[in-house]
């Protein structure tokens, strides 16, 4: 998915990671091992681009805050309870609802 300003793309991958690609610099600006299985869906949660949501075959939805990636890649929140893999996630764009 593209960021609201169109400068970045966020993507999930089969290597259990989330990638943020900076289109202007033409390079990966962030890579984090996010789940224990394929990352099926990702999106930006707010206009700032700091919050990222992800869903995976490990049955989890996770919230990532890019401002907290100093030294370790821990999610800001983990939403449990799905019985199967998460294949789609979307945001209202306000940083509160998904």
In a domain, 61, yes or no: yes
Residues 6 or more apart whose CB falls under 8 angstroms from that of 41 comprise: 12, 54, 55, 86, 87, 88, 89
Contact criterion met (CB below 8 Å) for 41 and 86: yes
**Is 89 part of any domain?**
no
Region 87-94 average pLDDT: 86
Q: In 10 A of CB 55, how many CB atoms?
A: 26
Q: Binning pLDDT at 50, 70 and 90, where does residue 23 land? A: very high
- What is the tens place of the pLDDT at every residue in 46-65? 888 889 999 999 999 999 99
The full length of the chain comes to 98
User: 8 versus 67: which is more confidently predicted?
Assistant: 8
Average model confidence (pLDDT) across the chain: 90
What's the number of domains the chain is made of? 1
Kindly state whether residue 96 falls inside one of the protein's structural domains: no
In this structure, what CATH number is given to the domain that contains residue 63? 2.40.10.480
Q: Is residue 73 part of a domain?
A: yes
- Domain residues for the domain of 14 are 8-79
SS3 55: strand
Q: Which residue has the tokens 């919230």?
A: 63
Has residue 87 been placed in a domain? no
**Which residue in 27, 7, 6, 10 sits closest to 62, CA to CA?**
10
């Amino acid at each position: 998915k593209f960021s609201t300003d169109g400068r970045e793309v966020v993507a999930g991958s089969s290597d259990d990671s989330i990638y943020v690609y900076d289109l202007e610099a033409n390079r990966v600006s962030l890579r984090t091992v996010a789940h224990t299985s394929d990352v099926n869906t990702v999106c930006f949660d707010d206009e700032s681009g700091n919050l990222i949501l992800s869903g995976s075959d490990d049955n989890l939805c996770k919230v990532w805050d890019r401002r907290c990636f100093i030294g370790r890649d821990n999610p800001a929140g983990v939403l449990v309870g799905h019985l199967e893999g998460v294949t789609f996630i979307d945001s209202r764009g306000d940083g509160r609802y998904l």
